[in-house]
Amino acid sequence: VEDTERIDADEVMRRLAYAQSQSSNMLLNTGPLFVGAIHPEAIAALRETGRRIRENGWPRTGASVQESVLTVG
């Protein structure tokens, strides 16, 4: 579905930081396309999020959004 809003890696990192600041878990739904595959934009966002976490660790509890969102580069 092309008109569905998707989140990018920056937004995933923001939500992870918020969930961690609330001592909670986060469920990220990546509903499948009609053919059963995950949308390429969702795959890209999740891969980028994983890369950032591997390279820089989880977002810090109590960090501001700017400190928690690590830029690509």
pLDDT in tens, 14-58: 999 998 888 888 898 888 899 999 999 999 999 999 999 999 998
Give the pLDDT of residue 6: 85
Task: List, in order, residues 6 or more apart from 16 with CB less than 8 Å away.
Answer: 26, 49, 58, 59, 68
Is 59 within 8 Å of 68 (Cβ atoms)? yes
Give the pLDDT of residue 21: 87
Q: What's the pLDDT band for 70 if we cut at 50, 70, 90?
A: very low
- Identify each DSSP E strand in the chain by its residue range: none
Give the pLDDT of residue 3: 61
pLDDT of 7 higher than 80: yes
